[in-house]
């Protein structure tokens, strides 16, 4: 397991003009499970290009501007069943993922967002104070908090 590679990925803390944060509820998530938008990098793709591509794919708009890239990389192991799905989906056995994280400004009209329904059930905008209650996966809030502090937020 230790010799297996990590899949490279990206995620974004997307804020609007009121500093509300965008959260996504993915199709495979249970009730009350939310995350920052993002996904995997394509072969040879740099994180900056990848995050903008992922946001446009998932949200149907390119109204995003990178404000800052975090120094914090969210590196985690996948459970065995997720590794098996990875083999079927990517043809490569990954041990987990390394996600580069960004602060992104949404510059568009929220009515222009068109969800990629194959991946995203719904979205919501929440305040910084509300973020923690939406981060229910193991260690999700701890990583988010550390990343947000690195990006300049007082959390």
Q: What are the pLDDT digits (tens) for 137-153?
A: 989 999 999 999 999 99
Question: Does residue 1 belong to any structural domain of this protein?
Answer: no
Total domains present in the chain: 1
Q: With beta carbons less than 8 A apart as the criterion, state whether 64 and 52 touch.
A: yes
Radius of gyration of the chain (CA): 15
**Is 62 contained in some domain?**
yes
Is there a domain that residue 73 lies in?
yes
Say if residue 117 is exposed, middle or buried (CB neighbours under 10 Å; 0-12, 13-18, 19+).
exposed
- Residue 77 located in a structural domain: yes
Residue 84 is predicted with a pLDDT of 66
Task: Please enumerate in sequence order all residues whose Cβ is within 8 A of that of 32, keeping only pairs 6 or more positions apart, or say none.
Answer: 134, 136
pLDDT digits (tens, 9 = 90+) for 70-95: 999 999 887 777 666 666 776 777 88
Task: Assign residue 81 the CATH number of its domain.
Answer: 3.90.79.10
pLDDT-derived band at 132, boundaries 50, 70, 90: very high
Structural domain boundaries enclosing 81: 6-150
Distance CA 67, CA 102 (A): 8
């Amino acid at each position: 397991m230790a010799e297996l590679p990590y899949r490279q990925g990206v995620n974004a803390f997307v804020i609007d003009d009121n500093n509300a944060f965008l959260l996504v509820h993915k199709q495979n998530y249970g009730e009350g499970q939310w995350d920052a938008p993002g996904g995997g990098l394509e072969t040879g793709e740099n994180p900056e290009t990848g995050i903008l591509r992922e946001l446009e794919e998932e949200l149907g708009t390119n109204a995003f501007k990178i404000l800052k890239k975090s120094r914090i990389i969210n590196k985690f192991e996948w459970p065995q069943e997720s590794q098996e799905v990875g083999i079927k989906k990517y043809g490569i056995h990954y041990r987990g993922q390394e996600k580069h994280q960004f602060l992104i400004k949404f510059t568009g009209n929220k009515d222009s967002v068109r969800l990629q329904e194959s991946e995203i059930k719904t979205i919501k905008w929440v305040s910084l104070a509300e973020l923690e209650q939406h981060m229910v996966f193991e260690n999700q809030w701890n990583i988010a908090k550390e990343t947000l502090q690195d990006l300049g937020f007082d959390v």
